[in-house]
Structure formats: C-alpha cells, structure tokens
C-alpha cells in the first residue's frame, strides 16, 4: 500500500496527506512527522539525536518519491535551503 504521487494541486492535498500519513505510520515515523508539523520552523538537525536524524532521513527520502511537479519543486527548494545530513 502506498500513496499516490502528489503533483501540488491544492484540491488533492487532503486525500494525499491522509495516504502519506498511513505510509509514515507503517515506517514508524508518523509521530515524528506530526511533531515537526507543529513547529513554527523546520527542526534543525543540530537539535536532533541520532534516532530522530535517522527518522528524518527516512521520511525525507520517502516524501520525495511521492512528489512531482510543483510539490517536488517546493521539496527541492527546501532541500537546498537546509543541508540534509
């Protein structure tokens, strides 16, 4: 079971997000993802322990596999602004 690829259309966001949350739960990173969503800014790798960094890496690599078009460009821009571990 995997979510569909998200292309950035606002009207498809809620359904896609629900599917992606299911994938994150299977991978054991849903709680970490939800905690990061509550932060005003993206968490810094300097403040994470090794377990959180591993979860962030996994979540990032899964996320970019399910984005294309506008959403992939946003993810790419974020990646360039914050150096990945």
Q: What is the pLDDT of residues 33-70, one digit of tens each?
A: 998 888 888 777 888 889 988 988 898 888 888 899 88
| Reported pTM | 0.77
Give the tokens for residue 40: 């005003």
pLDDT exceeds 90 at position 31? yes
The pLDDT > 90 percentage for the chain reads: 28
Q: What is the pLDDT of residue 82?
A: 62
Give the tokens for residue 31: 């709680």
Angle at 34 between CA 33 and CA 40, to 5 degrees: 95
């Amino acid at each position: 079971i995997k979510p569909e690829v998200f292309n950035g259309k606002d009207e498809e966001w809620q359904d896609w997000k629900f599917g992606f949350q299911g994938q994150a739960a299977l991978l054991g990173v849903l709680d970490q993802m939800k905690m990061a969503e509550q932060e005003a800014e993206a968490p810094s790798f300097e403040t994470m322990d090794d377990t959180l960094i591993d979860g962030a890496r996994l979540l990032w690599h899964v996320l970019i596999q399910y984005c294309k078009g506008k959403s992939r460009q946003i993810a790419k821009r974020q990646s360039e602004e914050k150096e990945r571990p």
